[in-house]
Amino acid sequence: WFSGLRGVEIPDALDPASFVDRKSIRVQWDAIEQRMRDYLAELRDDMLFEKPFAEGEDKDLIVWQVLLQVGTHGTDHRAQLLRLLNDLGVKTVSQDYIFYAYDHPATPKASSPSSSGT
């Protein structure tokens, strides 16, 4: 999805045989995550309503919809993995976002005088 958003060619599917251990997976994932972070760092509000795809079934999607898809699809995969791990007897932890929020409280930004409405 992020390749499409960035307007670059979508890469071929990764070959599982290329990932023989956790370290090789981590190296690949770190590179993917960095590209996602780079895209998000450059994202502006007005870009959320652009259509990033010119053709195909995705041509009518706008950027915010694609970003929502990425987040919800990732959540789906986490749930699938948790089930598989549980079936194998692996102890897992809660994946509810709310528990993350409890452990990592947001720090409110100070409001500027112009945004206070006075």
Residue 109 belongs to some domain of the structure: no
> Which helix (DSSP H) or strand (DSSP E) does residue 74 occupy?
helix 63-87
pLDDT tens for 66-76 read: 999 998 998 89
Domain, as residue range, for 80: 1-103
Residue 60 belongs to some domain of the structure: yes
Residue 118 belongs to some domain of the structure: no
CB atoms within 10 A of CB 29: 11
Residue 111 belongs to some domain of the structure: no
Residue 5 belongs to some domain of the structure: yes
CA-CA distance, 8 to 86, in Å (whole number)?
Answer: 38
Tally of structural domains, the chain: 1
Which pTM value belongs to this model?
0.72
Residue 114 belongs to some domain of the structure: no
Which amino acid, one-letter code, is at 92? T
pLDDT averaged over the chain?
90
pLDDT tens for 16-48 read: 999 999 999 999 999 999 999 999 999 999 999
Structure-block tokens of residue 20:
């023989």
Residue 69 belongs to some domain of the structure: yes
CA-CA distance, 76 to 70, in Å (whole number)?
Answer: 10
